[in-house]
Amino acid sequence: MEKKIRVLIAKPGLDGHDRGALIIAQALRDQGMEVIYTGLRQSAAQIAQAAIQEDVDVIGLSSLSGAHKSLFPKVIEHLRKLNAEDIPVIGGGVIPYEDIPFLEEQGIQKVFTPGTPTQLIGDYIKELVGEEKQVIEPPKKISHIGIAVSSIEAVLPFYRDVLGLSLQKTEQVESEGVNAAFFHIGETSIELLEPLSEESPIYRFIEKRGEGIHHIALEVSNLTERLRKYKQREIPLINEEVKKGANGAGIAFLHPKAANGVLYELIEHGEEEQ
Ligand code: ZN
């Protein structure tokens, strides 16, 4: 039988509530992991000891008391003293997002904020311990910003003369029903989108919301895998499969519902045109 992932769930400090920790523990067990729960009010030293004794693959710290900024780094410190700093530590509970940069700087691998689906935490742990390949890598850059215009010609003077950009190229993208015009700015570019007909999504966008910023495109790798993962996690998608965009790149749009009203395009360039 394959070795199960072993997780230590621990509650450092004084807070006396462990409902959340118990829910996570059960959810991870349901996902096939072996979970050891230390119980309430453990010291950082006890937690580090327990992690070594139990030979766990990952430590999950939970804190509701507001003392996470001192308690979580203390656990890391004790692991270091015991030469066990290779055991990754993740955290959750009631943690204001403002504290995330500090905690990650202190060596906490990842902090989950309230409301994170337990499935996602389980997926993350599997990737962290190397059982599953990491699929959701950070996007590499903003590939372009798409701007909906009624007429490319009408806005050219602004982009060329007011901003001083040069027009790199134009392209008719049949799949989107648009003419596109590209201006490079450093690593990224601006893409003007003009509808080819009243059937074009850009036409409908302009009718509804007027000309303006239409979408932000992010350069990613692993687009096919990523979409599969998003589908699994029920992230609202416009395209569930990769389709061909401008330059022959693979593209897919997330539904604006996924990002509070912002339309994101994911784009993956083939080796040769990157
Ligand atoms: Zn685009």
Q: What is the pLDDT of residue 87?
A: 95
**Overall pTM surpassing 0.85 (yes/no):** no
CATH number of the domain to which 258 belongs: 3.10.180.10
245 Cα: distance to centroid of ligand 1 (angstroms): 8
* Residue from 155, 243, 219 nearest 192 by CA: 155
Contact of 176 with 201, CB cutoff 8 Å: yes
Measured over the CA atoms of residue 139, residue 142, residue 143 and residue 145, the dihedral's sign is positive
Q: What is the pLDDT of residue 94?
A: 87
Question: Considering the chain, what percentage of its residues have pLDDT values greater than 90?
Answer: 73
- Residue 135 placed within a domain: no
**Do 11 and 117 reside in the same domain of the chain?**
yes
Other CB atoms within a 10 A radius of the CB of residue 211 amount to 18
- Residue 27 phi/psi, 5-degree rounding, is -60, -40
136 Cα: distance to centroid of ligand 1 (angstroms): 20
**Do 17 and 122 reside in the same domain of the chain?**
yes
Q: What are the tens digits of pLDDT across the range 192-207?
A: 999 999 999 999 999 9
- Residue 57 placed within a domain: yes
- Which DSSP category does 233 fall into? T
Contact of 173 with 191, CB cutoff 8 Å: no
Residue 228 CB contacts under 8 Å (≥ 6 apart), including other chains: none
Q: At CA 75, angle to CA 70 and CA 81, rounded to 5?
A: 120
- Residue 273 placed within a domain: no
* Residue from 40, 38, 95, 102 nearest 67 by CA: 95
Q: Collapsing DSSP states into helix, strand and coil, what is residue 216?
A: strand
263 Cα: distance to centroid of ligand 1 (angstroms): 10
- Residue 241 placed within a domain: yes
163 Cα: distance to centroid of ligand 1 (angstroms): 21
Taking a 5 Å cut-off on Cβ, the residues next to ion ligand 1 are 146, 217, 265
What total of structural domains would you count in the chain?
Answer: 2
249 Cα: distance to centroid of ligand 1 (angstroms): 10
**Domain encompassing residue 215:** 141-268
pLDDT band at residue 272 using 50, 70 and 90 as cut-offs:
very low
Q: With a cut of 90, say whether residue 56 has pLDDT above it.
A: yes
Q: What is the pLDDT of residue 89?
A: 96
**Do 121 and 185 reside in the same domain of the chain?**
no
Contact of 51 with 8, CB cutoff 8 Å: yes
24 Cα: distance to centroid of ligand 1 (angstroms): 39
**Do 208 and 247 reside in the same domain of the chain?**
yes
